[in-house]
Each structure stands twice: as C-alpha cells, then as structure tokens.
Amino acid sequence: MRNARALAERLAESLTDAIVRAAEIVLDAVRPQPQAQLVPVRVRSRRRPDGR
C-alpha cells in the first residue's frame, strides 16, 4: 500500500508538471508578440558643400 501511495503522488506530480508545461505552450502561442517599431529616417539627397 505504501508503494501505491508513492506511485500516486509521483503520478499526480507528473500530471501537474505536464499540465503546467502545456498551459505555458498554449499561452505563449496566444500571447501577442511584440512587433518591430518602424523609425522614420530622413534621407538626404544632396551632398553638402564640404563633401559629407
């Protein structure tokens, strides 16, 4: 009977760990991912008189 209790406790712990891992995977898939921010850049079309 002692082995059955230990086995049940290990099974419950394994199931809990598996459920937590599955929940993390689902939440990672559902959670919105951060998007890259586009930064406006000014492009100069003329050269400066000093050559830069």
51: left (phi over 0), alpha (psi -120 to 50) or beta: left
6: left (phi over 0), alpha (psi -120 to 50) or beta: alpha
Q: How many helices (H) and strands (E) does the chain have?
A: 1, 0
Q: What is the pTM of this model?
A: 0.53
Taking the chain (52 residues) in runs of 10, the rounded mean pLDDT of each run is 89 96 92 82 74 59
Where in the chain are the domains? 1-30
